[in-house]
Amino acid sequence: MEYLCGNFIALKPTIHPIDKSRLSTVDFNNLPFGKVFSDHMLVADYEDGQWKTVRIVPYGPIELMPAISALHYGQAIFEGMKAYKNAEGEIFLFRSQENFKRYNLSSDRMCMPAIPKEIFIDGLKELLKVDSDWIPNLENTSLYIRPFGFATDDYVGIRPSDSYKFIIFTCPVGPYYNQPLHVKMSEDFTRAFPNGTGEAKCAGNYAAAMLPQKLAKEQGFDQLIWLDGKTMSKIEESGTMNLFFVIDGTLVTPQTTGTILHGVTRDSVIQLAKHHGWKVEVRDIYAQEIVDAHFAGLLEEAFGAGTAATIAPIQSISYQGKRMELPPVEEAKVAPLLYNMLNDLKLGHAPDPFGWLEKI
């Protein structure tokens, strides 16, 4: 059934199943992150001012013209989210509405058409039903979900495209980080600048970060902590994660001012902490404040929070040639507790006072 609504035609996806599943070739006890792909993907096209032709097809190559706008001018955005399966076989999405909203905030910033909920949310649910056997239920596993969109006009000219493609594919995954992280504050590069694209989840943000991250890894660091572009003194985020610090018993995280991502996990951590009566501060955090807190013995923990990593403990922070070793992560109290609380929520094993969980 097809019906018109605003500037899109909403369709229940047509399903074209794969001839032979690849599921039997996967070792679910040894899942690398982002390298194993499920059988199917959802695809939709934007043409003549409407989203149309929504279908679920076997995961595989897509044919593109060399002149498409995304390849030349960077009109490309994406999201990251997960589905979970508990020991009882129940399947859940966690705060999918927030990913849907953030995707459309990114599309607006990149001058791309919004994706309707009927395609992003309802289409995703259909995809998960088709590939439900790909959702792992072993400890520290999940199904990573990658919705993304890009411009497809076959035209070399700097203007918004008239045509776009939207795709969702999925990957069964294990942990993103296996060990506590050693990070360095970036003093030579900046990730974003006020009034730029810092809070949009656009491809260019990540491409621009690759050189400084590569240089940091050559120096023995796992990730960078980005500082603000104006003064290079305020902490923003780290790679694929928002940042949290426990300073003298208070959970502190940078505020969002247009240059860092509105992380869904970040917001979940803040709300969970406040719900349990913890002291939380969302504010500017200066690099020097972290140095001072460390040498005063007040920096108790540091960790990243993101969809891929969930909660990633930080073992050391380097700045201006000084390496600050944090207390052993085995002694941490806040990060492990938050990790367990989030996991229990996502698997339906704990009460959900926020209405975040959605059973498929």
- Rounded to an integer, what distance in angstroms lies between the CA atom of residue 160 and that of residue 169? 25
Domain co-membership, 13 together with 162? yes
Instruction: Indicate if the alpha-carbon torsion angle 153, 154, 155, 156 is positive or negative.
Output: positive
Select the more confidently predicted residue: 139 or 217.
217
Query: In the block, which residue shows the tokens 């002291």?
Result: 279
Percent of the chain at pLDDT > 70 equals 97
- Rounded to an integer, what distance in angstroms lies between the CA atom of residue 8 and that of residue 178? 43
Q: Which of 128, 122, 166, 138 is nearest to 38 (CA)?
A: 128
Domain co-membership, 132 together with 31? yes
Give yes or no for residue 134 having a pLDDT over 70: yes
- Rounded to an integer, what distance in angstroms lies between the CA atom of residue 290 and that of residue 354? 32
Tokens of 262: 């509105």
- 293 confidence band (pLDDT: 50, 70, 90): very high
Q: Which of 78, 82, 74 is nearest to 261 (CA)?
A: 78
pLDDT digits (tens, 9 = 90+) for 162-179: 999 999 999 999 988 889
Average pLDDT on 301-309 reads 95
Element (H, E) at 169: strand 164-173
How many domains would you assign to the chain? 2
Domain co-membership, 214 together with 334? yes
Give yes or no for residue 2 having a pLDDT over 80: no
Q: CB within 8 A of 209, min separation 6: which ones?
A: 189, 191, 224, 226, 239
Domain co-membership, 215 together with 280? yes
Q: What is the CATH number for 209? A: 3.20.10.10
DSSP 261-299: ---HHHHHHHHHHHHTT--EEES--BHHHHHHHHHTT-E
Separation of CA 174 from chain center? 15
- 10 confidence band (pLDDT: 50, 70, 90): low
- 6 confidence band (pLDDT: 50, 70, 90): very low
Instruction: Indicate if the alpha-carbon torsion angle 119, 36, 207, 162 is positive or negative.
Output: negative
Q: What is the pLDDT of residue 180?
A: 95
Domain region containing 212: 181-346
Residue burial 184-222, b: 16+ Cβ < 10 Å; e: rest: bbbeebbbbeeebbbbbbbbbbeeebeebbeebeeeebb
pLDDT digits (tens, 9 = 90+) for 308-353: 989 999 999 999 999 999 999 999 999 999 999 999 999 999 999 9
- Rounded to an integer, what distance in angstroms lies between the CA atom of residue 237 and that of residue 25? 37
Q: Does any domain span residue 358?
A: no
Please state, rounded to an integer, the average pLDDT across all residues of the chain.
94
Q: Does any domain span residue 189?
A: yes
- The Cβ of residue 7 has, within 10 Å, a number of other Cβ atoms equal to 13
Beta bridge partners of 345: none
Domain co-membership, 74 together with 44? yes
Backbone angles phi, psi at 118, to 5 degrees: -60, -30
Give yes or no for residue 4 having a pLDDT over 60: no
Residue burial 234-245, b: 16+ Cβ < 10 Å; e: rest: bbbbbbbbbbbb
Q: What is the pLDDT of residue 191?
A: 93
Q: Does any domain span residue 26?
A: yes
- Which of 129, 146, 173 delimits the end of a domain? 173
Domain co-membership, 15 together with 107? yes
Task: Classify strands 237-238 and 322-325 as parallel, antiparallel or unpaired.
Answer: unpaired
- Which of 142, 173, 204 delimits the end of a domain? 173
- Rounded to an integer, what distance in angstroms lies between the CA atom of residue 147 and that of residue 89? 24
Average pLDDT on 238-264 reads 95
- 3 confidence band (pLDDT: 50, 70, 90): very low
- Rounded to an integer, what distance in angstroms lies between the CA atom of residue 336 and that of residue 186? 27
Give yes or no for residue 150 having a pLDDT over 80: yes
Q: Does any domain span residue 360?
A: no
Domain co-membership, 189 together with 162? no
Q: CB within 8 A of 266, min separation 6: which ones?
A: 242, 244, 253, 305, 306
